[in-house]
Amino acid sequence: MIRIITDSASDITLRQAKELNIHIVPISIQFQDGPCPQETDADLEQFYIRLAQAEELPSTSQPSPELYLEQFEAAKEAGDEVLVLTLSSGLSGTINAAQIAREMCGYDPVYIVDSRQAIASQRILVEYAVSLRSEGLPAPQIVDKLEALRDRITVNGVIDTLTYLRKGGRIPAGLAVVGNAMRIKPVIVLEDKILKTIGKALGREAGKRMLYQRFEKHLPDPDFPLYFLYTSDKQLGQQFMEETIEKFQLQNFQTSLIPVGGVIGTHVGTNAMGIAYVMK
């Protein structure tokens, strides 16, 4: 048996993890008035209510090695192989915690993969690992296939407000005020392990057009799911999904609408939307 482990940056709830037969190691999110778990759909919704009300951004902390060690020890006792898929090493030191735990455990069949992804793009890689496990592949072969696929996965989005970039100290307060007044919407992509701004659109519709231009250059592989993302406004995400499916004739694709959790939502803020998929 292969024990597949990922972290909560994948935005896989505990119920979904049980259905996939995987294990989730939490990345903690702490507001000034207390922690905000990310274990259920309701937790993800509650996060944005608290985020909109908070004067300061919550802090996020990578898992301790002990959380991974607990999983590794259980696998060792059962004689299972272990496959860990972590949040992109360019965004967090989560992979370091897993590596320390592997050294502490002294158990050879522990394989750790830097997903180089986050949120739904990380989920795509996890779900692919689950499908390969169901085919009976051993962990080393699964690792090879994951590493071959991960750089074909992309996630892009439109940020609705500069407020949270300002709260996080990424842009000056004055620039955020002017940018919000001008309705500037940063268009972002997770690339080379980190989040990058690839454009600044004047308004949401212009932001969508930028996403569509990129989508046309990097069309999706129909053998993998196509995930549409939203942070706080599910209706906005639904409209974006329906519009995109119609525009690009994606009716035969496996599509889903997925909320973005607090690990990345802390930085992109409310009313953002995006898309994650495997490029051809």
User: Domain extents for the chain?
Assistant: 2-151, 153-278
Look at domain 153-278 and name its CATH class.
Answer: alpha beta
Q: pLDDT, tens digit, for every residue of 2-39?
A: 999 999 999 999 999 999 999 999 999 999 999 999 99
Lookup result for tokens 């965004």: 91
Q: How many CB atoms lie within 10 A of CB 124?
A: 26
Query: What pLDDT, on the 0 to 100 scale, is given for residue 167?
Result: 73
The overall pTM is greater than 0.85: yes
Query: What pLDDT, on the 0 to 100 scale, is given for residue 264?
Result: 93
Query: What pLDDT, on the 0 to 100 scale, is given for residue 178?
Result: 53
Q: Which residues of the chain have pLDDT under 70?
A: 168-182
The fold adopted by the segment(s) 2-151 is: Rossmann fold (3.40.50)
Query: What pLDDT, on the 0 to 100 scale, is given for residue 162?
Result: 76
The DSSP result for the chain, as a single string, is: -EEEEEEGGG---HHHHHHHT-EEEPPEEEETTEE---SSHHHHHHHHHHHHH-SSPPEEEPPPHHHHHHHHHHHHHHT-EEEEEES-TTT-SHHHHHHHHHHHHT-SSEEEEE-S--HHHHHHHHHHHHHHHHTT--HHHHHHHHHHHGGGEEEEEE---SHHHHHTTSS-HHHHHHHHHTTEEEEEEEETTEEEEEEEEESHHHHHHHHHHHHHHSPBPTTS-EEEEESS-HHHHHHHHHHHHHHHT-TTS-EEEEE--HHHHHHH-TT-EEEEEEB-
* Whether the domain at 2-151 and the domain at 153-278 fall into the same CATH topology: no
Query: What pLDDT, on the 0 to 100 scale, is given for residue 184?
Result: 83
Query: What pLDDT, on the 0 to 100 scale, is given for residue 161?
Result: 84
